[in-house]
Chain A
Amino acid sequence: MNLTEPYQSDGARGVQPLRLVLVLGLALVALCAPLVLGTYAVHAAVIAMIFLLPAHGLNLLVGYTGMLSLAQAAFFGLGAYTSALMSIHLGTSFPVNFAGAALMAAIVAVPLGIPALRLRTTSFVMCTLGFVIIGQAISKNWISVTRGDMGLSNIDKPTFRLLGASVEVAGPVQTYYLALAIGALATGVFWLLVRSPAGRNLVAIRENETLAESLGVPTWKYRLAAFVIAAAFAGAGGSLYVHYISVASPLMFQTIYTTTMLIIVLGGGAGSITGVVFGAFLFVGLSEGLRVTPELRMIAYGLCLLLLVFKFPKGFAPLLQKLWDRAGGITRKEGSA
């Protein structure tokens, strides 16, 4: 399975009117959606935008650097617990907790990444899975801090404090706009990151690590940096999640979280930003839609994973690319897109 397309320049120059309409239209839809949708659909959209954060991180690892890491769920849980504990014990406001969670995940990722990144393929996957299992064990057993299986509950809704005034973001619609802002910001940051020379170097590592090293790319530093940045994204996602659902428990380290992140990135298309954004809404929507029958939901997920591997190894990214090309007035030869 080749997960990603080789890097290709777009070819379009200047602003394409049809593309502009498409982007503005989507932005308008995103802004107006809560006014039209029911509460449950808005809730699903919030969850999708929360999962977008760890998915961006995973995309950086799988899609841009070529490392399949299962540790994103561990950092997601770590971020959630960090944010919850800060809110309970320090009473800090949401922006502080959010930054704290991302920072904590990044800091912890360094000592975990150094040994893990020495490993390749299967051993690396196993090691990163181990981080999730150990995270769950810690959250279950460090009872004085995490309250074990009972979890931390009644965590504050996201609160902003400015000049003495305190604003609480409560309810799905308000959280929707907060999540939309954070999701858009994160996507923008991610886009800048992968378009920068550093992002190109990561792609070079994915394509051929030895060759990249021989051309003077410090591959070890880049891979560690990618692992740490991915962890920060996951930690930030965990923070938003915990303030939205207001409970942190060891259930956050369940396999289903890892699977959801994987399916978003692989289904959307590893190495494609729009693909992953699309994947987050599609697969979280599917999952929330099937929540009434949890077993069928899992079976559908499993079948999706199988279908993705065998029928659509590149996810939805090629489809989206074709649409985008058409909007830009570009026709590519079949097979090169």
Chain B
Amino acid sequence: MEFLIEQILNGISTGSVYAIVAVGMTMIFGVLRAINFAHGEYYMLGTFGGWYAISALGVPYPVAIVIGVAVTAAIAFVIGRLVMERMIGAAPEASVVATLGVSLVLQNSVILAFGGSYKFFSEGYIEPVFFGDIGIAQQRLLIIGLCILVFAGLEWMVSHTRIGKAMRAVSQNTEACAVVGIDVRTVVIATFVLGTSLAAFSGILTAPVNVSVYGSMGEIITFKTLPIIVMGGLGNVRGTFIAAMILGIAESFVAGQFGLQYRDSVGFVTLILMLLWRPHGLFSSHARF
């Protein structure tokens, strides 16, 4: 029983990590209609930023989070202006190829700059806390708590702030936005920087749990996030949250029951099964993309 609850808790914390990454990707899809194949690389950039701040500048963990997110946001802004902006109104194939290109450039630039070896992420709150017999690392609880905060914040933002409403408007109809005077490019860049910053935030939050930091770590995150956002219904924030939790818990069970090596294929197997049964996603009634 304890084992079961521990697995569920671990699943929820993994799901929270995925949820924070995936929500950024799905929002970017919403405004651009483009799949961001480079999304995991921003997760990697954030982690590297945090790792560098800790190991080279010696700052405490909370400051490292801020530095990592800020560095990633700056890089994302440049890429947004150079690449993502041009994706407005482009064919889906173009975005696949362009973001694959961005992913190769980012990943290998980092490997070129810092070397391909594994780095050790030493900070964070990894001591376990116990509820009866059930132990869970403090960091995992922190991740779950922050995930809830992020989603509450996003819900508030899209319903109460000007930029949030503009994001929703752009994801519904780009042309109508231009007619009523919403600057589509600004909204796209803002959404892109916000989405990638969330990925970076998630990366630094997970680093103490995963411990190792390496240049190609983003790829696996991209491959986990892709099925989540398709299952959640592309552009659907709440659907993404639920799909991420389902995948986190499912992975935790598969790793516990069948072995760790099968964990990484759970996402795509689930996705393909779902596409057979409901080609339009779990939470929408008709096919959109």
Please list the residues of chain A having a beta carbon within 8 angstroms of any beta carbon in chain B.
1-3, 62, 68, 115-116, 118-123, 125-127, 129-130, 133-134, 136-137, 140-141, 255, 259, 262, 266, 294-296, 298-299, 301-306, 308-310, 313
Contacts and interface: CB of A to CB of B under 8 A. Distances in A.
For the residues of B in contact with A, the DSSP-based class is helix
Interface residues of B, number: 43
Given A2-B91, A68-B96, A115-B272, 4 more contacts: A3-B91, A134-B269, A305-B98, A309-B98
23 contacts: A1-B91, A62-B93, A115-B272, A119-B275, A120-B289, A121-B92, A122-B289, A127-B271, A129-B223, A130-B227, A130-B269, A130-B271, A130-B272, A137-B262, A137-B264, A255-B219, A266-B97, A298-B107, A299-B109, A302-B100, A302-B104, A302-B105, A303-B101
Interface string B131-171: 00000000000000000000000000000000000000000
A115 B275 contact: yes
A296 B234 CA distance: 34
A295 to B, nearest CB: 4
B261 interface: yes
Nearest to A267: B97
Nearest to A262: B97
Contact of B104 (A3, A137, A298): A298
Given A2-B91, A259-B104, A309-B101, A122 B112 contact: no
B90 interface: yes
B186 to A, nearest CB: 21
A305 to B, nearest CB: 3
B100 A262 contact: yes
Interface in B190-245: 219, 223, 226-227, 230, 234
A130 B287 contact: no
B279 A68 contact: no
Interface string B243-280: 00000000000000000011011011101100110010
B81 interface: no
Contacts of B272: 115, 127, 130, 134
B104 A305 contact: yes
Contacts of A309: 94, 97-98, 101
